[in-house]
């Protein structure tokens, strides 16, 4: 199995008749899925998603793929194929279309409806092409056929991309639920037909490759939900992804059965469920869904709230309820259902929310104590089954952390795919399909691009390091006025600390050290403010480290007069 090496350089020119695959996100991480296909100078993009920040990225709202390698080639893009409507596959589209708003978006009815609503907030009207399973579209040199796959959102599609270099199949996210809520199965017959034609490169979802067996059916959750609804004495509050239509459908069915009204809470939840209902993907009995403002008129045992925040996101509705920072106040006897899995990295935030809700008296039902979630991704048993049907000549595991990618590669090898035909890549690693073989040929820039408020890409790793230091160690500011010609101190030093745990009076011990260092530098003829600032930073930093074993941010200010 081939894998990337740190010594990889820029890829060579793509050989004539070859297909280049450049993953810009989703490999080595859960999220930010984006893959660029290149043939004969033309580009096709599959998915364009976001990654959600972790605790060591304070202040960051979203993380985007790095568009650097396509920034100067926007006119070469034939379109963006969106496999389904989850944020980790469509969330970065508005940022791509800011650079060129008329790049065509290709996807299923629900997927396009969700991205169009998102783009409306960015004041972008996209050019879209709606497709469904069985459709085949020629996008420049890319002959794309769309195949139905089952996932935790309706209308998900895989895409088979035919080029003269061979056929590449991108599964998107998928599983093989044999009893799907909407009756829409992963089309194994279509994959078998593609296999007969010859799949030269299969890019396969790896998220659950470490999990043995098969994913249980989504409808298995129904009985658990009914049991919760039957025994809940007061309000029921359900937190779910704002796009998990099948899960929300089961909540609505249980509410209808037990005589409860449903209200959606949170902008994305209200928007997405409105779209799903309007398009017929969500079946809602008349009068069941009410406005959240009318809930005060209903008895607590007739209320169901469906909100966002299942991943502990600090600004989502559920987190704010746990922090007593929301109009809806948790009271003893309320039942809260977290109907989702834990995205890696979110565990602490989720348990913090669970503890907060429990503190106010809620009974919290979550994946750890009840079967209120099944995954949307194929487990190892399903992947083995899938590879035996597809029989790909080359396999490239995608959509997963390193452990998932390696586990998926091992599954492929077990089904007979030669190990030297299995490519384990990471973001930015270029894979070329030439003469029927997929090989790593180089690496391009594919770092994190941070969104912080309205700024995109302005926050750097250095900025985040500074934020972490500020958050963990605090800041010490030192203000000094010096004579511009002699460098001698005319006022100060004044030392103040915030968040460092050091009392301002303690700095009486370091002020003589600053005086001594500055006087010596003046004698040596050093008067340049930047050099004096560096001197102050070193002097105070050494004192704090020696005295307190801490490393706060030190901000020296030197004013010349």
Residue 1 pLDDT class (50, 70, 90 cuts): very low
Question: pLDDT tens digits, residue range 173-187?
Answer: 999 999 998 889 999
Helix axes 267-278, 245-257, angle to 10 degrees: 80
Residues 227-250 as b/e (b if ≥16 CB within 10 A, e otherwise) read ebbeebebbbbbbbbbbbbbbbbb
The 8 Å CB, 24+ separation contacts for 543-547 are: 543/509, 543/510, 543/513, 544/476, 544/500, 544/502, 544/510, 547/509
CA gap 310, 238 in Å, rounded: 9
Q: What pLDDT score does 529 carry?
A: 72
Other C-beta atoms closer than 10 Å to the C-beta of 516 total 11
Is 5 among the annotated ligand-binding positions? no
Is 492 among the annotated ligand-binding positions? no
Q: What pLDDT score does 191 carry?
A: 97
CA gap 276, 261 in Å, rounded: 18
Question: pLDDT tens digits, residue range 49-74?
Answer: 988 766 666 566 678 899 999 999 99
Structure tokens at 347: 């565990």
Helix axes 529-548, 511-523, angle to 10 degrees: 150
Is 376 among the annotated ligand-binding positions? yes
Is 242 among the annotated ligand-binding positions? yes
Question: pLDDT tens digits, residue range 90-99?
Answer: 989 999 999 9
Please answer whether residues 18 and 168 qualify as being in contact, where contact means their C-beta atoms are separated by less than 8 angstroms. Answer: no
Q: Which residues are catalytic?
A: 205, 377
Single out the residue of 168, 161, 170 nearest to residue 78, CA to CA.
161
What is the bridge-based pairing of β-strands 455-456 and 128-130?
A: unpaired
Which domains are assigned to the chain?
A: 19-213+375-446 (3.60.15.10), 218-365 (3.40.50.10710), 461-560 (3.10.20.580)
Least confident segment among 6-10, 209-213, 461-465: 461-465
Least confident segment among 82-86, 181-185, 543-547: 543-547
361 Rama sector, left if φ>0, alpha if ψ -120 to 50, beta otherwise: left
Single out the residue of 293, 248, 288 nearest to residue 271, CA to CA.
248
Residue 375 pLDDT class (50, 70, 90 cuts): confident
Q: Which residue has the tokens 């994946």?
A: 367
Q: Which comes out higher in pLDDT, residue 82 or 312?
A: 82
Q: Which residue has the tokens 């009271």?
A: 331
């Amino acid at each position: 199995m081939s894998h990337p090496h740190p010594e990889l350089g820029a890829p060579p020119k793509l050989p004539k008749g070859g297909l280049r695959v450049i993953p810009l996100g989703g490999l080595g991480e859960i999220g930010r899925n984006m893959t660029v296909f290149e043939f004969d100078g033309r580009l096709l993009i599959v998915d364009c998603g976001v990654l959600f920040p972790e605790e060591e990225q304070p202040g960051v709202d979203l993380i985007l793929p790095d568009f650097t390698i396509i920034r100067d080639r926007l006119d070469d893009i034939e379109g963006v194929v969106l496999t389904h409507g989850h944020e980790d596959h469509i969330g970065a589209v508005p940022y791509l279309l800011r650079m060129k708003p008329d790049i065509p978006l290709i996807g299923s009815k629900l997927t396009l409806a969700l991205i169009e609503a998102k783009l409306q907030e960015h004041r972008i009207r996209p050019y879209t092409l709606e497709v469904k399973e069985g459709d085949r579209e020629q996008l420049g040199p890319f002959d794309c056929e769309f195949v139905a796959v089952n996932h935790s959102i309706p209308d998900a599609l895989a895409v088979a991309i035919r080029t003269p270099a061979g056929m590449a199949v991108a599964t998107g996210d998928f599983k093989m639920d044999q009893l799907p809520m909407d009756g829409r199965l992963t089309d194994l017959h279509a994959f078998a037909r593609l296999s007969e034609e010859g799949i030269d490169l299969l890019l396969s979802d790896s998220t659950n490759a470490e999990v043995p067996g098969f994913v249980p059916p989504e409808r298995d959750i129904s009985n658990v939900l009914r049991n919760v609804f039957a025994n809940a004495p007061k309000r029921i509050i359900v937190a779910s992804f704002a796009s998990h239509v099948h899960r929300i459908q089961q909540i609505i069915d249980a509410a209808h059965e037990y005589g409860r009204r449903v209200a959606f809470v949170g902008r994305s939840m209200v928007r997405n469920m409105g779209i799903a209902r309007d398009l017929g993907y969500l079946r809602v009995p008349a009068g069941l869904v009410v406005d959240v403002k009318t809930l005060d008129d209903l008895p607590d045992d007739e209320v169901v709230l469906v909100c966002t925040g299942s991943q502990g996101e600090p600004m989502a509705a559920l987190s704010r309820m746990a922090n007593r920072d929301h109009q809806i106040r948790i009271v003893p006897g309320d039942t809260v259902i977290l109907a989702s899995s834990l995205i890696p990295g979110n565990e602490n935030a989720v348990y913090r929310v669970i503890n907060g809700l429990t503190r106010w008296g809620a009974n919290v039902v979550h994946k750890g104590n009840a079967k209120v979630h099944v995954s949307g991704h194929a487990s190892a048993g399903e992947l083995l089954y899938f590879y035996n049907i597809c029989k790909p000549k080359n396999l490239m595991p995608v959509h997963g952390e390193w452990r998932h990618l390696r586990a998926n590669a091992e599954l492929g090898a077990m089904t007979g795919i030669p190990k030297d035909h299995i490519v384990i890549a990471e973001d930015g690693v270029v894979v070329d399909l030439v003469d029927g073989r997929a090989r790593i040929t180089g690496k391009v820039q594919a770092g994190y691009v941070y969104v912080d408020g309205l700024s995109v890409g302005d926050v750097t790793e250095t900025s985040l390091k500074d934020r972490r230091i500020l958050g963990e160690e605090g800041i010490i500011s030192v203000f000094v006025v010096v004579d511009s010609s002699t460098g001698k101190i005319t006022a100060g030093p004044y030392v103040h600390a915030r968040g460092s745990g050091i009392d301002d009076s303690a700095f009486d011990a370091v002020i003589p050290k600053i005086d001594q260092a500055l006087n010596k530098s003046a004698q040596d003829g050093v008067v340049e403010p930047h050099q004096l600032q560096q001197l102050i930073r070193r002097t105070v930093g050494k004192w704090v480290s020696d005295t307190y074993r801490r490393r706060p941010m030190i901000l020296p200010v030197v004013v010349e007069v």
